[in-house]
Amino acid sequence: MSKFIKLLLVLAFLLYGCNESLDALIAKKLNKPSPSPTVKPSSITPSGNPLINPSTSPSDISSTSVPGTNSTIKSITVKIPTNFALNTEYTLKAEIKFLDGTTNDTDIIWNISDTTLAKLEGDKLTPLKEGNIAITAIYKNDSNQKSDTVYAMIRSDLNIAPSATPLLDIPLPTPTPSQFGMFINPIVPQNGKISVDIYKDFQYVPEGWPMGLSVGQTQLDALASTPYETLTNEPQYTSANHLYGYLSLGNGADTKISFAVDNLDQPTWMVYMDKNNNEDLTDDGSYINQGTGSFAALMSVTIDIVTSTGLNITQPYQFWMWINAQKQAYFYTRCYYKGMISINNTTYHTVAYEEYNHNGLYKENGLYIDLNNDGIITEATEHFTDGQNVQIGTEQYQLELLYP
């Protein structure tokens, strides 16, 4: 297997894949606890957005989650295709490695983010209709339910039968852009307009601070002794006085993503996040503290989106959340969408990113276009809002953002 293909089999969702020095800088800027993961890949640094070679074939992705040192698990590795064909049965694969060197690939519970998009029976997945889907592997014999989540795209234009591919022992990667979902087709202006729909034209990337952009913080409503919405199922809490909170994300029928904070009588706390937004806090696992304060962690959820055409979809959303000693919760985004605009045989890297107003809706934050292709966004000249004119060379175009 070539080195290029191995790089594409990159770790799609690293729980601790943030850059330590950059996180410390952001933490200082935001006056928040600095995240200090227990396990850290070497030399993971932010980079620009080199193009991913377009390909219509469904190459595989491999994702590794690395739990903390209080677990007997060294890593959980999931290996699935980036793209699934409709009405085709797939066998989901995962491998758990323990600190003592042993492995396990049988004691795994599988969950999917949307049961209308696919049918799941044990480890057998059959896609039913197009869309983005989050697939989670949970080790059922661990008290903390260690898990790993990867994202893929269900496509109707694939007629390629899945083939069994052995799990690979791939070391932690050097900084390389990961391939998620569909390949990128460059946007070409039509009738004097650059029309962008990030859910059709762009790729979701679970990383932070694209092309040198900074980030602000969003303060959540106060934690409460009762849930903000009706929960159908809750875990067995260890703290008698556990607290509840929520994030307001998306614009669908249910914009509240609930969570509960437990272990409040301990130096560090635990959070049960309703990652699939089904009002059940028992089927998503839990997050332990990854920071230096009482609680901070890198999290990922699925949110409900109603597109500009009225289509109901679910999308992944990754963020860093922390709770201070006064039990006030904050978060900022650790994801974005990237795409390309092609004009007169020149391609410009483009990102949709929530610098502020973190709610999973990107239109109000506008679009960032790297007009000089230096890999760094200059906000004064390369940040544009819906309806604004964009000067590219001698041509001028109106920007049209076709997403909420």
Domain ranges, ordered by start, for the chain: 3-183
| 385: pLDDT strictly greater than 80 | yes
Q: What are phi and psi of 7, to 5 degrees?
A: -65, -35
User: In this structure, are strands 93-98 and 73-81 parallel, antiparallel, or unpaired?
Assistant: antiparallel
**CA-wise closest residue to 388 among 118, 178, 121, 196:** 196
The three-point CA angle 342-353-258 to 5° equals 140
Lowest-confidence range among 43-52, 130-139, 204-213, 267-276?
43-52
The predicted-structure confidence for 41-90, as pLDDT tens digits, reads as follows 222 222 222 222 222 233 345 455 555 445 677 777 777 776 777 888 88
- pTM of the predicted model as reported, rounded to 2 decimal places: 0.58
**CA-wise closest residue to 328 among 296, 289, 351:** 296
Just give the CATH number of 3-183: 2.60.40.1380
How would DSSP label each residue in 178-197?
PP-SSPPPPB--BTTEEEE-
pLDDT band at 319; cut points 50, 70, 90: very high
Separation CA 180–CA 338 (nearest Å): 10
| 214: pLDDT strictly greater than 90 | no
Q: What is the mean pLDDT of residues 250-268?
A: 95
pLDDT at 60: 47
Lowest-confidence range among 12-21, 253-262, 348-357?
12-21
pLDDT band at 269; cut points 50, 70, 90: very high
pLDDT band at 169; cut points 50, 70, 90: very low
